[in-house]
Structure formats: C-alpha cells, structure tokens
Chain A
C-alpha cells in the first residue's frame, strides 16, 4: 500500500484539490489529508509551518472538510490525519456524522491506542488507525490487533515528522516481526520515509509507506510535486 500525506487547504483550497487528484491519478492506494492545528506536537518545521500558513490564511477546518467530501467520487482510499482537539472541539459526534461514509479512517497523531475508546465512546463511527512504534511492548499488542482499522500505522522513528528513518535497523525489523506474529493487518510505515529508496525499502520491511514532509514541502509546486510522487511510485514498483 502506497500513500501520500498532503495538508488540506495548502497552499490554498484549489491547489490542494489538484494535488489530491494528482495523487489518485498517479495510482496511489491511499491519501491522508491533514487538518491543520496550530500546536502540532508530532510535526517538524515543514509540516508545522504549513499548518500555520493554512490557519493564518483564514482557511477553516469546515471548508477543508467540505473539500474532502467534494472529492468523494475520486477512487482512492481516504484518511484524515489530525490532532485530538480538532475532532473533540468540532464535536466528536458531529464530526463522525459529517464524514462517515466519505473517508476510510482517522489517524490522530496525539491519540495513543489506549485512548481510542474515548472517541468511540463519544459517538465516533469512523475507524481510528492504531499506531505501532519503536517503543511498542508486548503488552501493547492487544490494542493494535483488536482495532477496527484495516491497517497499522508504524511510526518508523523516535521523533517528529521530517526526521529520517533507518528502514534496515534491527530494532525496526524486530518490532515488525513482533507484529507479524500476532496479526495479518497491513503494516504501513510512516514518519521518516523520504526518498524513492526509502519507499522501496518500506515495502520490503513492511506492507507499505506514506510520506508527509517530502510531499508537503512540494505541495505548492505542481511540477515538483508530481515529479516526486511519480518517482516514489516507479521506485517502489521495481
């Protein structure tokens, strides 16, 4: 599974929709759309800077959600990636009703697996993707295996978006092995995937990848953006 993260409303609503279409047309399996938050504790300077620009432009969360709904007929799996406060303060139940059926799942950067039930318990019907990390312990596996999501988001680094993962490290491969022993769910590696080589390596180590910082840093420029997402696609098919 190959995926691209782009930020909703960045650099403006029209450009965002065009980049969305480009991702789908290039043949990606899924897209993650970020909803901006101005205290993004899991994000490095590139993505955090983009979040702030969208917010300072006056683009609202509501308008980005509407744009995502408008893209419903584009055939690609769609996920929203954001922070707890956006969904909680929008209203968990209202958020769920608004988007249920239009997206395939939610990735919430500051929501650990043990707190997923907090959102389901307050009316969320959309599946939340669980995380596995380099720190995952045996005692954490239950919450991952029993999740409603169709895949596991493996955080490939200790750190924030924009750092580089070592996809051949013993530590990472052992954590993936530990997951494989207990689940058939697909393991998608995010955080730290940068180059076409990384993308190819992630498909060997796990079942897929998603890039964020590298796509967002090109999101303003259609030519660079499309060249980049094609290069990952080509490399990961070889």
Chain B
C-alpha cells in the first residue's frame, strides 16, 4: 500500500521528535533501494523459504468446518520458524539494517513473538539486540522471554504505565532517540511514523500473496478473509492481496472483558482520531486527551492505537472491523486445539472466534482465517481458565 507523502488519506504522518527525522529518511531511502534490487529480493526470498519455512500452507479445517457449517481455511503462519508471522518483517528489516550499516537493533514486543523474531534475526545477521517488553507481558509470556535471552538478546522489562505493549513501544522510541546513530528500531507492527507502516505491510504482504495464489489454484476466491488486529501487521499482510477482489475483509480487535473504557483494545470500534506513537490514527483516548488503559487476554492485541492503513481502510469502507471478547477467544483456542490438533496463539484465536461466534452469518461460505501464530507461548495464560467450561 502506497502512502501519499506519508499519509493514507488523513492518517499516518511522522509525529516524532525531530532527532529521529534523519534516521526515518535514511530508512525510507534504504527501503526504496532495497525494492529496486533483484539481488535483495532474491536473498530475502531465500531466507523466507529455507530459514523461515515459507510458503506456509492454506489448510482446510474439515472438522471445524463440519461442526460449524462454514468452510474454514487457515493460513498457517503458525508453522513458521519462531512461531508467528512476525519473522517475515524481522527478516526484511534486518536486511535493511545491514544495508544501512547499523550494528544494533531494538524492538518492542507484547506477546514476545516479535521479540523472539527480532532476537533470531539478530543472531542470524550478527547484530546487537535489545528488546523492550512490559513486565506484565514478560510474566504472562515467559517462554518467549527465555527464548530471547537464549538467542543472545538483552531483554529490558518496562515498568511504566500498564507495563504492556504501548509502554514497550514508548521505551523503544526513547532508546532510539538516544542511540539513533548506530541503532535501527525494528518495529514489529504496521504502526509508528512513516515509513514504518509501509515497510511492515510490504514485508508482510507475502501472507496475502501466497493465500491468493492458493485460491487461484482452487479456481475461486474466498468469500471472507478474517484476521486479528493488534497494531495490524498480520491483517494488512493478508488483506492487501484481496483489496481488488470481491472478497469481504474483516479485522478483529480485542473486545477484552467488555466494551467499557479500560476493558478492551477495540480501537476501531471505540476510538477517536488522535496522534500517538508517531502516527495520526484512531486512538483509545479519554475526554482529557489522554491514552486510555487497555486490556486483552492476549498480550499482542492490547494496543490503544492501530496502524494508519487500517484507520483509512475502515473509513473508506473497504475493510470491516469488529471485536470479540476474551471468553470467545479462549473458546476458539480450545475448539481449534481439540478439533484440529492445532494450538493457536490467543491473538489469532480472536479471528477464528469471530467465525465460530457468527457461524450462522457465514453458513456455507468459504472463509479464510489468518492463523498468525501458534499458542505454546500462551500456556501460562490459558492455565488460569477452565477451558472445559467455555
């Protein structure tokens, strides 16, 4: 998706301290060079195939389809090396880092998937690596904290605010301002100042491209494509390839415990336009112009903003956005695990839950769900619930 002067409609822009502007320009230049070079493209394709395990299959979930009366296809990003779609973007941006001659990468992480992906490419490319993670998230996604450390990354726990994703992004921006000369901020979602949303959605577009090819080979397009939306990278990655088709696209945010303020992160359902962490976008804020508290059972969706491309796609009407509550996500987690033998990430469970909760709406339709990641990181959270009761 191409921005106009850094904006998608009225959303986007570069709302950052002046100190970062030369680095953002350098990044944009590197990205443009990267896209021009066949060698770079083929090197990235090699990493994606032999290192990360692409292409990922589109799997027809027969048991689930039968039970719910909907033909459900899963784009299996959970099968990728490191367990989620985040590695697509991490590999791409690691190549940009090398091109710019920077020696250190930093990243925020919520669920820890992007932190693990970043620590992984740091090991692969021989870069120093520091990860920022809210201390609440670190506790609920402990396996990923251990993986990052094993991979040689420094993990910095963030104890400000709600100690979750938003606070990790703030801490990363602060590190970047201080170390901008030798450091690249390898942002993990389609958020932040231009050109980050464009770059992240470019590197994630492989999800949609492969999905579309699969359906082309089947001879039809899916009726619906559904993806969860935290910052919006897996969703924009899969939606892009279908924008010019008749397929209906639905992004699912975290409804959390309820739609009351502080209980969810349903930014596009409840937010107002605002400026946050580099970009103009829909934003959960109160009437004193302060960022609202957020909650989700999943550590990767509780972000009070959303990528500017999604704000624009919502306003143009091309993509619909909805939300599911924590309980529904846990229910979908159990269903996929028990019926298909696939343990999904709690983030991805939100996308699936929307189909299961609204199965009458989707009856007889072909629905593609982006299974953005696998769920072994979530054992600590899931243990606290009685899945049999859901």
Which of chain B's residues have a CB closer than 8 A to the CB of A140? 21-22
Of the candidate stretches A14-22, A153-161, A177-185, A202-210, the one touching chain B is A153-161
Give A158 to B180 CA distance when docked, in angstroms.
8
Residues of A within 8 A of B358 (CB): none
Check A135 against B21 for contact (C-beta < 8 Å).
yes
A55-B177 in contact (CB<8A) = no
Instruction: List residues of chain A with CB within 8 A of the CB of B251.
Output: none
A90 and B273 CA atoms in complex are apart in Å by 11
Query: Does A195 sit within 8 A of B, measured CB to CB?
Result: no
Q: Answer whether residue B360 sits at the interface, using C-beta atoms and an 8 A cutoff.
A: no
Q: A85 in the interface, Cβ–Cβ < 8 Å?
A: yes
A221 at interface (Cβ–Cβ under 8 A)? no
Interface string of A165-193 (1 = CB under 8 A from B): 00000000000000000000000000000
Q: How far is the CB of A174 from chain B (nearest CB, A)?
A: 15
Is B178 close to A, CB under 8 A? yes
Report the bound CA distance from A114 to B326 in whole Å.
42
User: Is the Cβ of B22 less than 8 Å from the Cβ of A88?
Assistant: no
- A41 within 8 A of partner (CB): yes
Residues of chain B with a CB closer than 8 A to A84's CB: 15, 275
Number of A interface residues at 8 Å Cβ cutoff, please give it.
Answer: 42
Select the residue from A86, A113, A158 with max chain B CB neighbours within 10 A: A158
Nearest-Cβ distance from residue A90 to partner chain B, whole angstroms = 6
A89 CB contact (under 8 Å) in B13, B19, B21, B272: B272
Given contacts A37-B290, A42-B177, A159-B177, contact A112 B283 (CB under 8 A): no
Residue of B nearest to A134 (CB): B19
In the complex, A83→B290 CA distance in Å?
Answer: 11
One digit per residue, 1 when the CB lies within 8 angstroms of any chain B CB and 0 when it does not, for chain A 64-103 equals 0000000000000000000111101110000000000000
A112 touches B170 (CB 8 A): no
Evaluate contact between B179 and A85: CB separation under 8 angstroms.
Answer: no
User: Are B17 and A85 in touch, CB under 8 angstroms?
Assistant: no
User: A141 in the interface, Cβ–Cβ < 8 Å?
Assistant: no
A136→B23 CA distance, assembly (Å): 11
Task: Indicate with 1 or 0, residue by residue over B266-298, a CB within 8 angstroms of chain A CB atoms.
Answer: 000000111111101001010011110000000
- Per-residue A-contact encoding for B154-174, CB less than 8 Å = 1, 0 else: 000000110000100010011
Q: Is A158 a contact of B18 with CB atoms below 8 Å?
A: no
With A37-B289, A41-B170: A110-B15 Cβ-Cβ less than 8 Å? yes
Whole-angstrom distance between the Cβ of A175 and the nearest chain B Cβ: 12
Q: Which residues of A contact B272 (CB under 8 A)?
A: 89
Nearest-neighbour CB distance to chain A for B29, whole angstroms, equals 12
Q: A39-B166, A41-B173, A112-B14 are in contact. Are A155 and B290 (CB under 8 A)?
A: no
Q: Across the interface, do B289 and A110 meet the contact criterion of CB distance under 8 Å? A: no
Contacts of A92-136 to chain B: CB distance below 8 A: 109-115, 118, 130-136
The docked-state distance in angstroms from the alpha carbon of A48 to that of B161 is 10
User: Restricting to B164-210, which residues have a CB under 8 Å from any CB of A?
Assistant: 166, 170, 173-174, 177-181
Contact check: which of B22, B275, B289 meets A61 at CB < 8 Å? B289
Distance of A115 Cα from B277 Cα, bound (Å):
15
How far, in angstroms, from A108 to B160 measured CA to CA in the complex? 22
Does B16 touch A at the CB level, under 8 Å?
yes
B291 and A111 contacting across the interface, CB-CB below 8 Å: no
- A55 and B160 CA atoms in complex are apart in Å by 15
Give the residues in chain A near B17, CB-CB below 8 Å. 41-42, 109-110, 112, 131, 133, 155
Given contacts A89-B273, A135-B18, A155-B19, 6 further A-B contacts (CB under 8 A): A41-B174, A45-B160, A85-B276, A110-B16, A114-B21, A115-B15
Listed A/B pairs (6) with beta-carbon separation below 8 Å: A85-B276, A88-B275, A89-B272, A89-B289, A130-B18, A135-B21
